[in-house]
């Protein structure tokens, strides 16, 4: 049954990788405070106008994309949030997995 166990482990690993991580990135959080993210990985990625593959896991995140391009996100909701030094919760929803009710 060794093969079967390996198969299960592989499927499980794939499922973990496939699950999307919807949480605000370190870069978005830093941006909300009017700062630039100081993570080495992020600084390096942003120099090349790229997303940090480690921290900015959602390639479709409007704010992460804007940060990578060295721009401000133009979404109304994000602009309004950044005025209050907040992260836009609509585009950067909090991770809900860890919540215990």
Question: Among residues 27 and 68, whose Cβ is nearest to Zn ion?
Answer: 27
Spell out where 1-101 has E strands: none
Min CB(100)–Zn ion separation in Å? 27
Min CB(51)–Zn ion separation in Å? 9
Question: Among residues 15 and 48, whose Cβ is nearest to Zn ion?
Answer: 48
Q: How far is CA 2 from the centre of its chain?
A: 37
Please check whether residue 47 is in contact with residue 41, taking contact to mean a CB–CB distance below 8 angstroms: no
Binding residues for Zn ion, per CB under 5 A? 26-27, 37, 39, 41-42, 52, 54-55, 62-63, 73, 75, 77-78, 88, 90-91
**CA dist., res. 35 & res. 13, Å (int):** 35
Question: Among residues 32 and 63, whose Cβ is nearest to Zn ion?
Answer: 63
Min CB(28)–Zn ion separation in Å? 8
Please check whether residue 88 is in contact with residue 82, taking contact to mean a CB–CB distance below 8 angstroms: yes
Please check whether residue 97 is in contact with residue 57, taking contact to mean a CB–CB distance below 8 angstroms: no
């Amino acid at each position: 049954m060794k093969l079967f166990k390996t198969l299960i482990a592989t499927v499980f690993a794939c499922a973990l990788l496939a699950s999307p991580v919807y949480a605000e990135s370190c870069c978005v959080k830093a941006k909300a405070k009017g700062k630039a993210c100081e993570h080495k990985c992020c600084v390096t990625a942003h120099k090349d106008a790229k997303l940090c593959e480690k921290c900015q896991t959602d390639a479709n995140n409007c704010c992460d994309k804007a940060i990578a391009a060295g721009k401000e996100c133009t979404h109304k909701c994000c602009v309004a949030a950044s005025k209050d030094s907040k992260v836009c919760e609509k585009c950067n929803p909090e991770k809900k997995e860890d919540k215990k009710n």
